[in-house]
Structure 1
Amino acid sequence: MHSPLPFAALLFNAFVWGLAWWPFQRMHQAGLHPLWATACMYAVVLLALLAWRPGIVRQLRDHPGLWLLAVASGLNNVAFNWAVTIGDVVRVILLFYLMPAWAVLLAWRILGERPTPAALMRLALAFAGVVLVLLPQGTSAARLLHNLSLADGLALLGGFMFALTNVTLRRLHAVPGPARMATMFGGCMLMALATAGIGLHMGVVEPFPAIDSTWAITALVLAGLLMLGNWALQYGAARLAAGTTALVMLSEVLFASVSSALLGAATLNAQTLLGGALILLASLLAALPSRRGGTPAH
């Protein structure tokens, strides 16, 4: 009988990210922009990791390809954290989960993996779902881009960067795991600081506020949970098939949808639910082949 611990670990990681929108919104209400919050939290996580494994710095110098991983994972977190703070949470999560569709295109371009007819079908399903999620009810497709908000754009960017992160991780599979993890944490911190600086100059990001116990304690607790979640993901993903991991991680959508609907941070209608169903169906179809014993389709 298989141990339930890997499944529980993955569910914990999905739970943390599915509910992460709430502390980000709470910190924002206390005066801390999500970009500053992201930079602070990942600085804490990175320092803890470097204190535990100081030799990681040498490994980072030996693998210059890690810079792409740092940028991709950093922008992934920046976009997602900002989007769930200012946007409709369910809508943001659904647009973010366009990631498997982006992965098909990126694997084709970066890894040379030509998409199969099944992959192209999933691509069409996912993009049809996005149209339904973004399109205002009762309007034509010509109004699609007119309804695009900053949160929508950030969610789409986050999903694209998440796909690029996954493809880059596959390309850097020979690099030691701790070095990749430190790169991702460092990238999150640096990209958040860089984006916050640009946003501050443009007037779209508030200055870093005075220390407040509300956001400071929330940031520390969330940083600890994100670190535990990352370790749980590493533990679970290393012991389960890739397709099984992808299926379990889709529970993040359920955690985010239920919590945000109960707390009034999301609006659900039939068109959004249908679009979300198409996006999630594309993700499920991408994961199912490896669950049956094969490898994930691309």
Structure 2
Amino acid sequence: MSSTAEPAPAGASFAHPRATWLCPDTGRLLAQGELMQAMARKRVVLLGETHDVAEIHRWQLHVTTCLHLLRPQMAVGFEMFPLRIQPVLDAWVAGEMDTATFLERSEWAQVWGFDPELYLPLFHFCRQQRVKMLALNCHRPLVTRVGQVGWEAIPVEERDGVTPSAPATEGYRAYLAAITGRFSGSAKPEAMAPERFDRFIRAQQCWDRSFACRIADHLVEATDDPLVVGIIGRGHLEYGHGTPFQLRDLGVEDVAVLLPATDAAPEVEPLAGIAEALFRLDTPEPPQSRRTPRAAS
């Protein structure tokens, strides 16, 4: 959320009490009602997550509920589902199957693998409120192929409806280098061989672009001027990189990112520009184990 207030001095720290929203650019606390009103006027609001933290998914449900009260014409997009699962999502929202059947037909264990209990409250919210669910992801082998050989080598008919991504900015490359560096114990790009790092970026951007394409396509096709809420890994959203950048390339400008925070007194400097607002969570329970590791997400 843009602010006319002066930015906080570089290196300053500030208090961020639990159950409050904070502007990362200024260090000011934001009134929740005013923030939600502003977010409800957006075209797209992206709610970042760490996939295995239950408290984050509770926060996503709370924010989605607030926005739905203000903007009932809504769709919720999920990174968890590839496009081929869209008919199953439609049938679930229409009330045509029980939970066990939904998890089986959506291939949950194969396409995602995290404990479904983390996400089921969000899925049931969409079903109960008849909110359209959008499958934002692409066929997983496409990500692998783009990473290996690039877009040009893949025939258009095999791109799963995803268009080639806008080139990664130097800022995004530095951001992804820091992420991969944390995994390897170094924040330097050379922690990963250059060719491997380029493959990683291409794969990450394939996901970024897929999420953006599905959202943009829905905004074009919908007749009720909906708000689209995106449930997406924060690594695809932070600092305006990833999916927000690809949405802008597709002509969708009115996009906001909201993120959960767990630190009581973060440093301003590295957080400036990370999102429109941060919500300080209650102390999360330990993350749940996951079956298969995924790229920064």
- The structure in which a higher percent of residues are helix is 1
Whether these two folds match at TM > 0.5 is: no
User: TM-score scaled to structure 2, two decimals?
Assistant: 0.30
Which of the two has greater strand per residue?
2
